[in-house]
Structure 1
Amino acid sequence: MSLDQLNWKILKCLQSNSRQSNAEIGRQVGISSPAVSERIKKMEDLGIIQNYHTTVSPFEVGYQLKALITIRAFMGMLKPFLEKVKSFDEVINCYRITGNENIVMEVVLKNQKHLELFIDQLIVYGETKTQIVLSHVIKHNPVKPLK
């Protein structure tokens, strides 16, 4: 399926607010609610639309720190880490990356002591580097059409 301008308009609407109704999206893009529904269903079936989710503010639910932690895995420790990381409640995003480090994680933590204890769990897998997030410059920027 090739994404035409209408599909991109629908995706833009959904990326800004996935809870809006098909009727509201239809009004914004100029087609009927059933036509919006049909296009959304096709994009879901093809894996273009993968998920709908709620974003929770970690700070509003009690976390005081957000950090990015990179790991340069020790020889033979990358695969064990890739299994272990799935069990860490602190990790909200984890990426396997290229470059000097193997992993970058976005984590939420209660405080500095929690950060220290979390890093203590990681150092058996490799060398870590931690950056504390001060603020978001761009947050959930929508995917846009290729030019």
Structure 2
Amino acid sequence: MAENLDATDWTILVELQRDGRVPFTELARRVNLSSSATTERVRRLESMGVIAGYHADVDLEKAGFAVLAVVRLKYPGNRHEPLHRLLSERMEILECLRTTGDDCYTLKVAAASMRHLERLVGELAEFGSTTTSIVYSQTLTYRGPQRPPDA
């Protein structure tokens, strides 16, 4: 898939990750294309699934989630559907990665309080052993992919 992306496509992707609401006329100016060519490229990137959606960047603390944590879960079972169901139901779980190594899953969790986090981790512990790390601060926010060095 990445082989179908040229330097202009990557420039568009970087700009849209900075501001997904940028008007096409401004995006076109930034990438040195006409508005129609820019619109066509964005639509192509969407249809290819490279652009999977547009999202708001929410300040968790201002939205009432004062505690950010990373929870690692060792899941000894082989039926993952019950866990997946919990993951889809609990909106406090922001991200879930299936990983190799000692832990099977790594979750990014936002909680309103330590008590809230404790209850959520308790629910996750029903599936296996957990290790929780509280996030003091976020040194680097998610920035999205940039153009790979070999592209």
Q: Which amino acid is the alignment partner of residue 100 of structure 2?
A: T
Structure 2 letter corresponding to 1:146:
P
Aligned to 2:114: 112
Q: Which amino acid aligns with 2:124?
A: L
Structure 1 residue 49 and structure 2 residue 46: aligned?
no
Q: After TM superposition, which residue ranges in structure 1, 4 or more long, deviate above 6 angstroms?
A: none
Structure 2 SS opposite 1:28: helix
The aligned residue for residue 37 of structure 2 is 35
Cα 1:5/1:93, change in 2 over 3 Å: same
**For the residues of structure 1 that align with 2:44 and 2:98, how far apart are their CA atoms?**
30
Alignment correspondent of 1:142: 144
Residue of 6, 9, 12 corresponding to 1:10: 12
Q: How does 1:58-137 map to 2 (within 5 A)?
A: 58-76=60-78, 78-137=80-139
Q: Which whole-Å deviations, capped at 9, do the CAs of 1:6-59 have from their partners, x for residues lacking one?
A: 111111111111110110011111111111000000111111111101121110
Counterparts of 1:82 and 1:142, CA distance in 2: 25
TM-score (norm 2): 0.90
Distance 1:81 1:35, change over 3 A: same
1-structure distance, mates of 2:47, 2:4 = 13
Count of residues in Structure 1 that have an aligned counterpart in Structure 2: 147
- Rate the CA distance shift 1:124–1:77 in 2: closer, same or farther, 3 A: farther
Q: In 1, distance between residues paired with 2:56 and 2:100? A: 29
**TM-score using structure 1 length:** 0.93
Worse overlay, 89-98 or 73-82: 73-82
When residues 35 and 113 of structure 1 are mapped into structure 2, their CA distance, relative to the original with a 3 A threshold, is same
Q: CA–CA distance in 2 between the matches of 1:11 and 1:129?
A: 35
* 8 Å CA contact 1:91, 1:108 repeated in 2: yes
Secondary structure of the residue that 1:26 maps to in structure 2?
helix
Counterparts of 2:88 and 2:73 in 1: how far apart (Å)? 15
Pick which of 104-113 and 72-81 moved more.
72-81
